[in-house]
């Protein structure tokens, strides 16, 4: 029922009284009463620098106490309400909710209890209370807490001092970055000087991110003889320091102290305040005075104070500098125009007035709130020199006046000179505002007045870009400038460019750049020390269709003559807009690389994996606000890698920027990803001057690195990629060319090249990228060096095994028809004849044991690649290949994959290394499967080649058809006789069925060779094309007696012990076998009967020595080889044939 009556009353009040209250459209009335609390009263009010109002409301009771809770209401500049803040905390003693009996503090005529509130920035509240009460004394300990607008206590702090009284003053944030700052003055009795008081002051900062309170410095001011609220005043100065005024009753004067700005580092040494400076001493003897208001002057240099001499009803306005110099002092009498003065026989001073609140107007002057005898309040507007503003309607302060409406002492002024106050009507609280004084200024000079109204600063003459102008974004202005009416010099204040937020109350304006006046690389003075020019970063005006403003801190410049810091320009005064661009914008995506500082790297590495991922998300969110773009367009990869170019550990991250699309709203629909990446680079490189330094994560970005575009592999490595493609093409060609020959395992040429390239890339990867990840270097070194150790040991064992001198093979295992020899003698012979090749591939086998397969592959028929490796060694090679595959190749493949997935910068070496590693795995897998699983057991190429001549363990050539064999020589034509010689062109069908052309000369008579001294002379068989004889194992075919002879395997009759027919049969069998000509089974059987035993090595050696001597006198020539290899080949006595052409002589 009560609630219904309450609403009816509000409706009746709005209907009946509001039309009378509103004198113009510039007056606004907002109800702030909570309908559930009809006894609410505003006990304290504060205002933020952005014109947000903070009110503390209580439910008053008859005993002077209130509910044990702190109830705060926050009103935005547009009249809307934030969530109420309600604090119930047992640490706040119950005594704080009652009015103290002594040392009472009065604000706006309202006596406060033990709780005080202060408006900090940004969106923080400082609350102080008594936490230690000393019974029987007027001394109490002070504690405080920081509360945010979300009703959260962020910090609890014990100031550690017991005071008889305290004062707290908040520093203007225009000189203090974004962290809150305040000065606490604790008044204590001076135990060493009876009757005097000491001011123990301490300066604190409040972290805007976590709300923690931190003490910065402290100091002491002595010889103060009173702590009365009327005799003291604290105020912030233009340079970030503080001023303290105190009245000395023993001196009958007001003295001034200045506390310097915050030092750059925390110090335990007390900071010394300058002063005392005598500010004012009345010319008449007075018993009491009140220091009403002190602060920054808006129409003169420095500061001003308003003092009330209540005995004489005189107001004194004092203008002074921070050096203590007095500029001017104006005394004027104040009177209440609503009270008529009684007639007197002689002029008399007006009756004293009860001043309960004074606020400075931002365009000069004061608003003074006076309480009438009937407890009603009225506001008076006075200029600094004492001129009273008279409204034609009789309403001096322009606030609504009506019966039943009572104003309270909760008075405030917005930065545009709008006045507000809390009124009460029928128990309901109202916030009443009036902006009719927004054009009022106490400055009588028209030009100065216009500057004051435009910039809030009478010393600013003009700015560029002008207020309300339009500027381009491409290209954007490179400088801005501000001109003053007086000579100036640069100081330490900041000039900042901000982007206005249009996304609601929860979104703050965006800092684009901020330079200090003493940063001469960005700020300079021109135009005879009157104009300041400031450099504009490329990223500052990057958003089309947006509003920007320039904020100039107090103390950005000084007056050149007096050295006094000048006022700046508040936010949203010097504002302008960017044009909306219609140019075509790229819709593609891009990516960029950023780097953490060493401190940021250590912090990131200390986080858990989940917190590291959260760090990346937070980084994206912060940067998207700073750039600014839609958060969905910016993504920070959770992967990272170390920068190998720095001595200290520093991590690299990749940031992916999506292109704009039609689904995005606002500027995101027209800003390309390339522009975003470019702006991000500028913002990071100048992080100390941009919003990058304000974020918890973004501040850890390295400004010396900036933001570099992710390298394009083709642009950066195009020549390397082309070279790799050409090398691969050459490799494939060589492989194709080698496969044309059916002899040997010719894929080894491809395997050899790939393994070499893969090893080189492995080494290069370790050198270049080994330190990109924590674990990478030791892991890659282990998986590279350990397999090399295994390969080296296995290679040594195999070579030792193959070159070891062993006993001849047993007769039951010997090949019938072949001599019994040392089973390793063939390999030793190959080793001696191909030493260089052997050593090279043995060393190569230390890298990869596949090198032993290469020398035994029989590649393209070359003897140097036809090492007679045993089957046992081939098995060992196959096993080691499998082991190394699992110890090196597969782990390296996994390492490369993990590296490419977990790193942020694409690089050419790991990509190519992964490719070659994959090829090596495929080739080795094919080898292992082909020769170890599907075709067991593994056989060496040499063994496989010899097995083709074994039939049931017997050394027998393959069966041939019954047709007569084709002779090894066939004549094309018989040309005429020339110079007594018969010349004929013949074609020799040798191995691989290649055609060889021979120019032969027939022998005129038989040639006889003495086989031994004791044996009879034997006739060597010959044909019409040359002489054919025998030297050990090879036939002698010659057309020219002057040339050396070729040796091939022929069994002579003198060796076998048979007759002539035996010689003929042996010759025919071996000759036809050598040249690939098959004979009939009948001929094979006849030859085997005529050749019961093979020659002994001793006989073969004797025949070789005899025949070698005879060959020189007989001589002949034979051309062997393909079209690419022609000419005669001679025997090399006692030497191995290491020539490529000579090596392709035997395939049997």
Using one digit for the tens of pLDDT, what is the confidence trace for 819-841? 555 667 888 888 888 888 888 88
Establish if 880 belongs to a structural domain.
yes
Which of 14-18, 269-273, 1080-1084 has the largest mean confidence?
A: 269-273
1037 and 892 in one domain?
no
Q: Tell me, yes or no, whether 490 and 536 share the same domain.
A: yes
Tokens at 665, concatenated:
């709203």
- Is the pLDDT score of 737 beyond 80? no
Among residues 283, 385, 279, 293, which one has the least CA distance to residue 331?
A: 385
Query: Is there a single domain that holds both residue 149 and residue 168?
Result: no
Contact (Cβ atoms closer than 8 angstroms) between residue 685 and residue 706: yes
Does the structure show a pLDDT above 90 at 453?
A: no
Q: In whole angstroms, what is the distance from residue 540 CA to residue 473 CA?
A: 9
Q: For tokens 């109350």, name the residue.
A: 505
The pLDDT tens digits of the residues spanning 355-376 come to 999 999 988 899 999 998 888 8
Contacts with 176 (C-beta within 8 Å, 6 or more apart), sequence order: 205, 240, 262
How confident is residue 1041, by pLDDT bands cut at 50, 70 and 90?
very low
**Whole-number CA gyration radius for the chain:** 53
pLDDT tens readout for residues 135-176: 767 788 899 999 999 999 999 999 988 898 889 999 875 544
Per-residue pLDDT at 477 exceeds 70? yes
Cα separation, 84 vs 141, whole angstroms: 28
**Cα(1044)–Cα(1130) distance, integer angstroms:** 4
In a domain, 340, yes or no: no
Classify residue 805: in a domain, yes or no: yes
Q: For the ranges 266-280, 443-457, 798-812, which has the lowest average pLDDT?
A: 798-812
| CATH number of the domain to which 464 belongs | 2.60.40.1220
**Do 860 and 889 fall within a single domain?**
yes
Average pLDDT over residues 684-712: 90
Pairing of strands 70-75, 85-87: antiparallel
For 941-957, what is each residue's pLDDT tens digit? 555 555 554 444 444 44
Mean pLDDT value across the chain: 76
Once rounded to an integer, what is the mean pLDDT over residues 656-678? 75
| Of 243-257, 290-304, 992-1006, minimum mean pLDDT range | 992-1006
Same domain, 202 and 327: yes
Same domain, 480 and 625: no
Maximum distance among all alpha carbons in the chain?
181
956 within a domain of the structure (yes/no): no
> Is the pLDDT reported for residue 234 higher than 90?
yes
Lowest mean pLDDT among 27-41, 560-574, 1061-1075: 1061-1075
DSSP string, 354-381: EEEEEEE-TTS-EEEEEE-TTS-EEEEE
Residue-level pLDDT at 394: 60
Question: What does the alpha-carbon distance between residue 1073 and residue 1049 come to, in Å, rounded to a whole number?
Answer: 10
Give the separation between CA 512 and CA 517, rounded to whole angstroms: 17
Give the CA distances from residue 299 to residues 363, 445, 456, 550, 563, in Å, rounded to whole numbers and listed in that order. 7, 11, 9, 21, 17
Tens-place pLDDT, residues 542-601: 888 889 999 999 889 999 998 899 989 988 899 999 987 655 566 788 889 999 999 999
The Cα–Cα gap between 423 and 445 comes to: 36
H or E segment and range at residue 241: none
Q: DSSP string spanning 961-1006? A: -SSPPPPSEEEEE-PPEETTEE-EEEEEE-GGG-EEEEEE---SS-
* Contact by Cβ (8 Å): 29, 432: yes
Report the alpha-carbon distance of residue 186 to residue 1125 in Å, rounded: 109
The answer to whether residue 616 scores a pLDDT higher than 80 is: yes
Instruction: Pick the more confident residue, 748 or 259.
Output: 259
CB environment 1062-1099: b (16+ within 10 A), e (fewer): bbebbbbbbbbbbbeebbeeebbebbeebbeebbeeeb
**Three-state SS at 472:** coil
Q: Are the CB atoms for 545 and 722 separated by under 8 Å?
A: no
Share of the chain above pLDDT 70, in %: 71
**Six-digit token string for 918:** 């994959």
* 987 CB-contact burial (10 Å; exposed 0-12 / middle 13-18 / buried 19+): middle
On whether both 704 and 647 belong to a single domain, the answer is yes
Residue 1104 lies inside a defined structural domain of this protein: yes
Give the list of residues 6+ apart from residue 369 with CB closer than 8 angstroms, or none. 108, 109, 355, 356, 357, 358, 359, 377, 378, 379, 407, 409, 411
pLDDT at position 73 is 94
Q: Where among 710, 734, 760 does a domain terminate? A: 710
CA–CA distance, 849 with 791 (Å, rounded to integer): 6
Strands 569-578 and 470-471: what pairing?
A: parallel
The first and second tokens of residue 520, run together, are: 């001469």
CA distances from 295 to 236, 245, 317, 322 (A): 7, 11, 11, 11
Q: The tokens 């009652």 sit on which residue? A: 98
Among 36-45, 292-301, 1057-1066, top mean pLDDT goes to 292-301
* Closest by Cα among 549, 533, 417 to 481: 533
Tokens of 813: 């295992």
pLDDT at residue 807, rounded to an integer: 63
User: Binning pLDDT at 50, 70 and 90, where does residue 502 land?
Assistant: low
Q: In the block, which residue shows the tokens 């990058």?
A: 692
Residue with tokens 């194992």: 1033
| Interatomic CA distance for residues 98 and 95, integer angstroms | 6
Determine phi and psi for 1137, rounding to 5 degrees. -95, 105
What's the confidence (pLDDT) of residue 366? 93
Residue 673: give the domain boundaries.
Answer: 590-710
Please give the average per-residue pLDDT across 1044-1071, as a whole number.
Answer: 37
Of the candidates 299, 333, 367, which is a domain's last residue?
333
| 3-state SS class at 737 | helix
Which pLDDT score is estimated for 358? 95
Tokens of 1114: 């007989």
Mean pLDDT across the stretch 206-212? 86
CB atoms near residue 406 (< 10 Å): 13
Cα atoms found within 13 Å of the Cα of residue 1030, Cβ hemisphere only:
29
3-state secondary structure of 568: coil
361 and 262 part of one domain: no
Q: Are residues 777 and 801 in the same domain?
A: yes
Q: Residue 970's CB: how many other CB atoms inside 10 A? A: 11
Kindly state the DSSP code that residue 816 receives in the 8-state scheme: T
Percent of the chain clearing pLDDT 90 (strictly above)? 28
Nearest to 254 by CA among 190, 326, 194, 186: 326
Residue 818: helix, strand or coil by DSSP? coil
Q: Within this chain, do residues 609 and 564 fall inside the same structural domain, yes or no?
A: no
pLDDT for res 816: 53
Rounded Cα distance between 929 and 621, Å, is 54
- Does 351 reside within a domain? no
Residue 338 domain-assigned? no
- Shared-domain flag, residues 703 and 725: no
Q: Is the pLDDT of residue 485 over 60?
A: yes
- Number of structural domains found in the chain: 7
d(CA 1067, CA 1023): 13
Average the pLDDT over 880-893 and give the result.
85
pLDDT at position 619 is: 93
Beta sheet of 274-280, edge-to-edge order:
232-236, 242-248, 253-259, 274-280
Helix (H, G, I), strand (E, B) or coil at 894: helix
Residue 289: φ, ψ to 5°: -155, 170
Cα–Cα distance measured from residue 918 to residue 454, given in angstroms and rounded to the nearest whole number: 72
Question: Which tokens in the block code for residue 583?
Answer: 């140019």
Q: Of 401, 435, 469, which residue sits at a domain end? A: 435
Q: Are residues 977 and 1117 in the same domain?
A: yes
Contact present, 222 and 198 (Cβ < 8 Å):
yes
pLDDT tens for residues 1075-1113?
444 455 555 555 555 544 444 444 434 434 433 443 343
Contacts of 829 by beta carbon, 8 Å cutoff, 6+ apart: 1136
Closest CA to 437 of 466, 467, 472, 395: 395
Q: How far is CA 95 from CA 17, 114, 131, 1123, in A?
A: 40, 7, 9, 117
The pLDDT score that the predictor gives to residue 136 is 67
CA–CA distance, 117 with 46 (Å, rounded to integer): 8
* Cα(180)–Cα(210) distance, integer angstroms: 11
Give the CB-side neighbour count of residue 517, counting CA atoms within 13 A.
24
pLDDT tens, residue by residue, 747-792: 777 777 788 888 888 898 898 888 888 888 888 898 888 888 988 8
Peptide bond into 598 cis (omega under 30): no
* Structural domain includes residue 1148: no
Asked if residue 972 lies in contact with residue 912, where contact means CB atoms within 8 angstroms, the answer is: no
If you average pLDDT over residues 613-641, what whole number do you get? 90
Check if the beta carbon of residue 869 is closer than 8 Å to that of residue 878.
no
């Amino acid at each position: 029922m009560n609630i219904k009556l309450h609403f009816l009353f509000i409706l009746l009040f709005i209907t009946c009284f509001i039309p009378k209250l509103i004198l113009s459209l510039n007056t606004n009335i907002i109800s702030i009463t909570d309908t559930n609390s009809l006894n609410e009263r505003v006990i304290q009010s504060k205002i933020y620098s952005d014109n947000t109002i903070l009110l503390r409301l209580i439910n008053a009771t008859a005993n002077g106490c209130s509910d044990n809770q702190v109830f705060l209401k926050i009103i935005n500049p547009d009249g809307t309400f934030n969530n109420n803040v309600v604090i119930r905390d047992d640490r706040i003693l119950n005594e704080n909710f009652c009015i103290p009996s002594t040392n009472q503090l009065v604000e706006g005529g309202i006596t406060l209890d033990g709780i005080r509130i202060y408006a900090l920035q940004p969106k923080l509240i400082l609350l102080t209370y008594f936490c230690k009460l000393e019974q029987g004394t007027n001394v109490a300990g002070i504690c405080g807490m920081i509360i945010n607008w979300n009703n959260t206590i962020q910090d609890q702090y014990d100031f550690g001092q017991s005071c008889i009284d305290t004062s707290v003053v908040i520093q203007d944030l225009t000189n203090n970055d974004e962290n809150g700052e305040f000065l606490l003055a604790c008044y204590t009795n001076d135990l060493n000087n009876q009757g005097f008081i000491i001011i123990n002051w301490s300066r604190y900062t409040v972290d805007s991110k976590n709300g923690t309170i931190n003490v910065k410095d402290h100091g002491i001011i002595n010889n103060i003889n009173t702590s009365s609220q009327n005799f003291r005043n604290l105020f912030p100065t233009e340079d970030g320091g503080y001023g303290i005024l105190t009245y000395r009753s023993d001196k009958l004067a007001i003295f001034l102290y200045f506390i310097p700005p915050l030092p750059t580092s925390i110090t335990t040494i007390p900071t010394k305040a300058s002063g005392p400076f005598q500010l004012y001493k009345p010319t008449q003897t007075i018993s009491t005075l009140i220091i009403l208001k002190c602060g920054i002057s808006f129409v003169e240099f420095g500061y001003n104070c308003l003092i009330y001499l209540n005995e004489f009803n005189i107001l004194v306005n004092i203008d002074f500098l921070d050096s203590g110099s007095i500029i001017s002092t104006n005394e004027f009498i104040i009177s209440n125009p609503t009270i008529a003065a009684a007639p007197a026989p002689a002029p008399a001073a007006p009756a004293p007035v009860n001043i309960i609140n004074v606020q400075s107007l931002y365009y000069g002057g004061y608003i003074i709130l006076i309480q009438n005898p009937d407890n009603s309040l009225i506001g008076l507007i006075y200029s600094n020199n004492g001129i009273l503003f008279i409204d034609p309607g009789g309403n001096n302060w322009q606030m609504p006046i009506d019966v039943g409406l009572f104003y309270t002492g909760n008075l405030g002024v917005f930065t545009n000179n709008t006045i507000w106050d809390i009124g009460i009507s029928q128990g309901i609280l109202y916030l009443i505002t009036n902006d009719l004084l927004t054009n009022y200024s106490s400055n009588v000079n028209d030009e100065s007045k216009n500057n004051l109204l435009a910039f809030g600063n009478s010393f600013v003459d003009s700015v560029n870009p002008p207020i309300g102008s339009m500027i381009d974004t491409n290209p954007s202005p490179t400088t801005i400038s501000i001109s003053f009416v007086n000579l100036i010099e640069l100081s330490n204040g900041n000039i900042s460019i901000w982007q206005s937020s249009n996304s609601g109350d929860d979104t703050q304006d965006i800092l684009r750049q901020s330079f200090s006046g003493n940063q001469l690389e960005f700020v300079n003075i021109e135009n005879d020390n009157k104009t300041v020019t400031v450099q504009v970063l490329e990223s500052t005006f990057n958003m089309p269709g947006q509003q920007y403003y320039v904020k100039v801190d107090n103390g950005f410049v000084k007056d050149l003559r007096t050295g006094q810091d000048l006022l700046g320009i508040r936010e949203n005064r010097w504002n302008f807009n960017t044009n909306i661009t219609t140019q075509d914008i790229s819709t593609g995506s891009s990516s960029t690389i950023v780097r953490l500082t060493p401190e940021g790297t250590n912090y990131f590495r200390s986080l858990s994996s989940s917190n590291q991922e959260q760090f990346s998300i937070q980084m994206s969110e912060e940067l998207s606000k700073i750039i600014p773009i839609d958060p969905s367009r910016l993504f920070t990869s959770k992967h990272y890698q170390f920068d190998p170019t720095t001595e200290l550990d520093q991590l690299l991250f990749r940031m992916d920027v999506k292109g704009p699309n039609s689904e995005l709203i606002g500027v995101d629909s027209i800003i390309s990803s390339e522009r975003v990446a470019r702006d991000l680079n500028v913002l990071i490189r100048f992080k100390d001057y941009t919003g990058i330094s304000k974020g918890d994560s973004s501040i850890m970005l390295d400004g010396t690195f900036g933001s570099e575009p992710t390298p394009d592999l083709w642009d950066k490595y195009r020549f390397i990629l082309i070279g790799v493609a050409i090398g691969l093409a050459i490799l494939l060609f060589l492989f194709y060319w080698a496969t044309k020959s059916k002899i040997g395992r010719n894929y080894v040429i491809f395997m050899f090249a790939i393994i070499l390239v893969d090893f080189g890339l492995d080494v290069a990867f370790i050198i270049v990228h080994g330190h990109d990840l924590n674990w990478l270097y030791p892991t890659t070194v282990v998986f590279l060096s350990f397999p090399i150790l295994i390969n080296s040991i296995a290679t040594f064992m195999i070579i030792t095994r193959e070159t070891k001198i062993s006993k001849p093979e047993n007769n039951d295992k010997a090949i019938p028809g072949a001599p019994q020899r040392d089973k390793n003698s063939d390999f030793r012979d190959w080793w001696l004849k191909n030493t260089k090749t052997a050593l090279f591939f043995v060393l190569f086998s230390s890298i990869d044991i596949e090198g032993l397969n290469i020398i035994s592959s029989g590649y393209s028929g070359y003897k140097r690649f036809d090492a007679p490796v045993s089957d046992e060694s081939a098995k060992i090679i196959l096993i080691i290949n499998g082991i190394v595959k699992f110890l090196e190749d597969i782990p390296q493949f996994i390492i490369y994959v993990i590296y490419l997935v977990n790193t942020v910068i694409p690089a050419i070496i790991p990509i190519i290394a992964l490719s070659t590693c994959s090829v090596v795995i495929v080739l080795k897998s094919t080898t292992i499967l082909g020769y170890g699983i599907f075709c067991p057991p593994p056989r060496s190429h040499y063994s496989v080649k010899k097995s083709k001549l074994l039939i049931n363990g017997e050394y027998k050539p393959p069966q041939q058809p019954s047709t007569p064999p084709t002779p090894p020589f066939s004549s094309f034509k018989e040309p005429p006789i020339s110079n007594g010689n018969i010349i004929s062109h013949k074609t020799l069908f040798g191995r691989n069925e290649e055609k060889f052309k021979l120019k032969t000369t027939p022998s005129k008579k038989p040639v006889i060779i003495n086989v031994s001294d004791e044996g009879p002379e034997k006739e060597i068989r010959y044909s019409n094309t040359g002489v054919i004889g025998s030297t050990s194992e090879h036939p002698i075919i010659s057309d020219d007696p002057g040339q050396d002879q070729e040796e091939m395997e022929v069994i002579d009759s003198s060796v076998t012990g048979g007759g002539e027919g035996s010689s003929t049969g042996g010759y025919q069998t071996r000759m036809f076998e050598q040249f690939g000509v098959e004979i009939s089974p009948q001929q094979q059987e006849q030859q085997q009967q005529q050749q019961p035993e093979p020659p002994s090595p001793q006989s073969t050696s004797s025949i070789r020595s005899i025949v070698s001597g005879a060959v020189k006198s007989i001589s002949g020539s034979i051309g062997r080889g393909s079209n690419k290899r022609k000419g005669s080949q001679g025997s090399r006595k006692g030497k191995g044939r290491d020539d490529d052409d000579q090596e392709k002589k035997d395939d049997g």
